[in-house]
Amino acid sequence: MSPAKKIRWIGIDYGQCIMTPASLRNPLMFGDIAKLRGKQEEAARFIQRMRRLKEKYGTISKIKEGHKDEIESFVLDGDHEAMLIFGEKEQELLGMAPGLLEFLKWVNEHGIRPSIVSELKKTLGPVGSDMITLYLNRKGIIDHFEYFITPQGKMKLSTEEQDLRYKGTSKENGTLYDELVKDLGEQGISPEECLMIGDKWSTDIKPPKQRGWTTIQYTGHIDMGQCEEADYYAKDFYEVQDIVAKLI
């Protein structure tokens, strides 16, 4: 029996994995927004509406992933300038997953620069024009990543060069991973040498596993329960590092 191939390529999901979404749980944030917009009397209403939005969708994470537009339209009364302030405040308050920086330094030292694999909905623009690359820049970790891979395209973060073969693909239906398999195959990297780290069964675990990848289900922010397609489980990036150390 031939030995298992070592991991040569790592993809990491962004939401609820790299970043911690605690900022949306902070009611003071909406008080600051109201004050900056000269609408101090609206602060309590903003906070109450945000609570109602959370009751509607169940979790902060679901709002962030699929209904963020309702923060502007419902919570903030359609005030676009207030939404821009919200984006700035969110970036200030977002945290990093425990052990992430240590893991990124360690894995780069071992010759692997991970890529972000995310369901970006807006058009792929220059670094810093979207919330994800802006976050990576502000946290000082962007240089530890090689590519930003999304259904809008793939971008090399060091040069901002874009590959639009990925445009129109999806993580959930697996077409983004199909494109990645072809792309990486051209570089001599097989599916058995690929690892995906993420929290959602439907986008981060099942599709890559069905294509022969190794998977780590990240449970540090949202624990959806064990997925049979997950090879490993980790609640922080210290545990991720321990797992990856055995695979590379």
The whole-number pLDDT of residue 90 equals 79
Contact between 93 and 30 (Cβ < 8 Å): no
* Domains of the chain by residue range: 9-19+95-245, 22-93
Q: Is 98 helix (H, G, I), strand (E, B) or coil?
A: coil
Quote the tokens at residue 129: 């024009």
pLDDT tens for each residue of 184-204: 999 999 999 999 999 999 999
Give the pLDDT score at 185: 98
pLDDT block averages, 10 residues each, the chain of length 248: 78 90 70 93 93 87 80 95 89 87 98 95 83 91 98 96 95 97 98 97 97 97 86 98 98
Q: Is the dihedral of CA 160, 127, 147, 201 positive or negative?
A: negative
Q: What is the pLDDT at residue 221?
A: 83
How many CB atoms sit inside 10 A of residue 136's CB? 22
Helix axes 131-138, 80-93, angle to 10 degrees: 40
C-alpha 113: how far from chain center? 16
Superfamily of domain 9-19+95-245: HAD superfamily/HAD-like (3.40.50.1000)
